[in-house]
């Protein structure tokens, strides 16, 4: 019966490991294809004819407040279908930070054009406005880019201007400024489209002097890591380390390597990168670096090292409360429960109504301290702490279960029954519901109320039987050839499938594959006809990208799309297998609980009848 209590006690232990990604070569090939397509289309020596409209925020050196940016924009060019964008907070901040948005691309036609723009926003007086502008311009060259610049801050009325950028997105107006391609990558990365960002940064960084492409290479590494290419990201960063001796750049590179290894659950590599950060780390990054290393040491059960590194995290920083919590966990692992409990108490006493992140950690600390007291047999104190975890908190269900368990150990069976019943009522499909029902029935038996105990056991059996039937239905669903892991949500209790530690990262990889598949299919369906026209083979910009002409590139796209289609099918089969394994494990657990319920009924009937009961229907 302590299994549920043990599970409940792990309220804030990070899940750092995941199964390996088996599709890195395919993802890398798609990114390289996108970069090749971009550089061929934007080849300054012979660009493909096209006209693009881009959206930019003119900060004039100042940080643009995100709330002054448009919440909605509608653009139409000549007779082309208009396009609308409703901006999210992430897109607002991406534009405010210098990102550049590609509104649309159309085939180039020399001559006059009319661009109509409608947009909503908030003026300097805080009032909502709707404005429309009509902008006329003329193109004379085969490839042209026009930038729609938006200007609004507390001292200016909102206004739009339209400016010519030039024939290529890879041209830079000065060595100090980022190329438009880099800024397009920044917008994609900040809004979560890391696959597109990787293509932009790869194309933008290629063929430039090292000092001008350094930032693009950092961002490319971050994009690689975000789409599940950690090895490629680390290779790029280690190559970058060979090209720079600047302490800040060295520290940034090792910091990214540490972060990538941390996300992949490679604890030894996290600690190795941490030791090589050097003196160039900024104070803003130092706390995160210490915290990742300490958590990795904790995961490796290197408790003395973890405790030491946790103490390096600034207590006044955003991670200070989590570091204090982690230090208590490390000391508990060393067997120093007394000091660990003291740190948890210190953390609890530091709660602040003005610091939401600290308050959330404090609530975890209540649960951790309660379980610490439970392990030490100090049940009254355990109940008092677990009762402090508020309803709605992620640890609440586990804390309630632990509190009922402790009450039962104290022989406070009436109170234990009430709390177990509360767990069942509030979380009938929760992670602890089945075990709570079994312990509820056992608590009635402790009170020598066999009739109620048998009734509770039979109720538990009914629910367990229904769960077995749900698992069978779910198994049939995931085994269907039409099952879509991204569209069908599992219906079994407690997130049996979606909470499985192997299924979750595999689902993330599947989501990326589907996104790559969708974007590449859209590209192949609207492949620029100007690129596949008869042209001499031209080398794309830079040294790493292949010499291709448009027809070769189109053929490569079809080959990649076929590989992606096969990979998505294989990924779905893998997910179905993982889901089936998770369901099988839950099926086994339910059968074990069912046996406990049957035995509980037998014991009650035996005690009531004064003899042995060998069989219960």
Mean of all residue pLDDT scores within the chain: 83
**Against a cut of 0.85, is the pTM above it?**
no
Directed axis angle between helix 303-310 and helix 320-333, to 10°?
160
pLDDT > 90 fraction of the chain, expressed in percent and rounded: 40
> What's the pLDDT score for residue 14?
35
440-467 burial, b at 16+ Cβ within 10 Å, e below that, comes to bbbbbbbeebbebbbebbbebbebbeeb
Confidence of residue 614 (pLDDT cuts 50, 70, 90): very low
CB atoms under 10 Å from CB of 282, counted, come to 11
Q: What is the per-residue pLDDT across 393-426, written as a single tens digit (0 to 9) for each? A: 888 999 999 999 999 999 999 999 999 999 999 9
Q: Is the confidence at residue 360, as pLDDT, over 70?
A: yes
Tell me which of 386 and 39 has the higher pLDDT. Answer: 386
Q: Is the confidence at residue 43, as pLDDT, over 60?
A: yes
Mean pLDDT of 341-346: 87
- In 3D space, the residue among 58, 85, 53, 83 whose CA is nearest the CA of residue 72 turns out to be 85
Mean pLDDT of 7-22: 42
CB atoms under 10 Å from CB of 75, counted, come to 20
Q: What is the per-residue pLDDT across 258-312, written as a single tens digit (0 to 9) for each? A: 999 999 889 999 999 999 998 888 888 899 999 999 999 999 999 999 999 999 9
Q: Is the confidence at residue 63, as pLDDT, over 90?
A: no
d(CA 86, CA 502): 36
Confidence of residue 1 (pLDDT cuts 50, 70, 90): very low
> What's the pLDDT score for residue 617?
39
Q: Is the confidence at residue 463, as pLDDT, over 90?
A: yes
Q: Is the confidence at residue 576, as pLDDT, over 70?
A: yes
> What's the pLDDT score for residue 269?
95
For residue 263, give both structure tokens.
């996300």
Mean pLDDT of 82-91: 90
Q: What is the per-residue pLDDT across 198-214, written as a single tens digit (0 to 9) for each? A: 999 988 876 555 555 78
Q: Position of tokens 């438009």?
A: 180
86 bridge partner residues: 72
Confidence of residue 21 (pLDDT cuts 50, 70, 90): low
Q: What is the per-residue pLDDT across 480-531, written as a single tens digit (0 to 9) for each? A: 888 888 876 655 555 677 777 788 888 888 988 998 899 899 888 877 766 7
- 516, 30 in Cβ contact below 8 A? yes
Strand runs labelled E in 107-155 = 111-122, 128-139, 143-153
Strand runs labelled E in 58-211 = 72-77, 83-86, 101-106, 111-122, 128-139, 143-153, 156-166
> What's the pLDDT score for residue 506?
87
- 262, 296 in Cβ contact below 8 A? yes
Q: Is the confidence at residue 3, as pLDDT, over 50?
A: no
Directed axis angle between helix 247-263 and helix 230-243, to 10°?
170
Lowest-pLDDT choice from 102-111, 242-251, 564-573 = 102-111
């Amino acid at each position: 019966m302590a299994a549920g209590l043990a599970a409940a006690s792990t309220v804030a232990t990070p899940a750092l490991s995941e199964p390996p990604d088996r599709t890195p070569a395919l993802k890398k090939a798609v990114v390289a294809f996108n970069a090749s397509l971009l550089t061929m289309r934007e080849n300054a020596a012979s660009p493909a004819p096209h006209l693009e409209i881009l959206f930019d925020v003119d900060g004039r050196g100042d940080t643009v407040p995100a709330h002054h940016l448009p919440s909605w924009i509608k653009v139409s060019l000549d007779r082309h279908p208009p396009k609308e964008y409703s901006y999210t907070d992430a897109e607002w901040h991406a534009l405010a930070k210098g990102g550049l948005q590609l509104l649309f691309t159309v085939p180039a036609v020399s001559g006059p054009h009319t661009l109509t723009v409608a947009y909503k926003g908030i003026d300097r007086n805080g009032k909502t406005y709707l404005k429309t502008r009509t902008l006329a311009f003329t193109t004379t060259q085969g490839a042209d880019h026009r930038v729609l610049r938006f200007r609004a801050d507390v001292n200016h009325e909102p206004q739009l201007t339209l400016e010519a950028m030039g024939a290529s997105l890879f041209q830079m107006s000065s060595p100090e400024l980022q190329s438009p391609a880099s800024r397009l990558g920044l917008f994609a990365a900040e809004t979560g489209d890391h696959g597109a960002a990787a293509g932009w940064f790869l194309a933008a960084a290629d063929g430039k002097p090292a000092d001008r492409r350094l930032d693009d290479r950092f961002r490319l590494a971050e994009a690689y890591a975000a789409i599940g290419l950690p090895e490629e990201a680390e290779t790029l960063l280690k190559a970058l380390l060979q090209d720079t001796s600047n302490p800040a750049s060295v520290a940034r590179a090792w910091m990214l390597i540490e972060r990538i290894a941390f996300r992949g659950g490679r604890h030894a590599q996290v600690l190795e990168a941490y030791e090589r950060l050097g003196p160039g780390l900024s104070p803003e990054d130092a706390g995160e670096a210490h915290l990742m290393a300490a958590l990795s040491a904790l995961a490796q059960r290197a408790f003395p090292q973890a405790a030491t590194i946790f103490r390096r995290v600034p207590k006044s920083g955003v991670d200070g409360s989590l570091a204090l919590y982690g230090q208590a966990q490390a000391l508990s692992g060393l067997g120093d429960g007394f000091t660990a409990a003291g740190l948890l108490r210190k953390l609890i006493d530091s709660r602040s109504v003005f610091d939401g992140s600290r308050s959330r950690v404090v609530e975890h600390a209540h649960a951790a301290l309660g379980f610490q007291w439970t392990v030490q047999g100090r049940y009254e104190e355990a109940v008092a702490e677990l009762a402090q975890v508020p309803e709605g908190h992620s640890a609440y269900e586990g804390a309630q279960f632990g509190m009922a368990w402790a009450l039962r150990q104290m022989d406070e069976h009436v109170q234990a029954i009430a709390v177990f019943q509360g767990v069942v009522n509030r979380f009938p499909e929760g992670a602890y519901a089945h075990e709570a029902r079994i312990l509820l029935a056992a608590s009635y038996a402790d009170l020598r109320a066999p009739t109620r105990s048998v009734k509770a056991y039979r109720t538990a059996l009914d629910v367990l039987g229904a769960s077995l039937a749900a698992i069978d239905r779910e198994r049939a669903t995931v085994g269907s050839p039409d099952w879509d892991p991204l569209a069908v949500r599992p219906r079994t209790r407690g997130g049996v499938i979606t909470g499985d530690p192997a299924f979750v990262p595999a689902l993330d990889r599947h989501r990326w594959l589907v996104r790559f598949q969708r974007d590449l299919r859209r590209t192949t369906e609207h492949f620029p006809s100007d690129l596949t026209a008869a042209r001499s083979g031209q080398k794309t910009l830079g040294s790493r990208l292949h010499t291709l002409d448009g027809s070769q590139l189109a053929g490569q796209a079809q080959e990649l799309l076929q590989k992606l289609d096969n990979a998505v099918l294989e990924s779905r089969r893998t997910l179905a297998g993982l889901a089936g394994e998770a369901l099988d494990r839950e099926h086994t657990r339910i059968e074990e609980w069912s046996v406990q319920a049957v035995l509980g009924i037998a014991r009650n009937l035996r005690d009531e009848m004064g003899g042995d009961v060998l069989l219960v229907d």
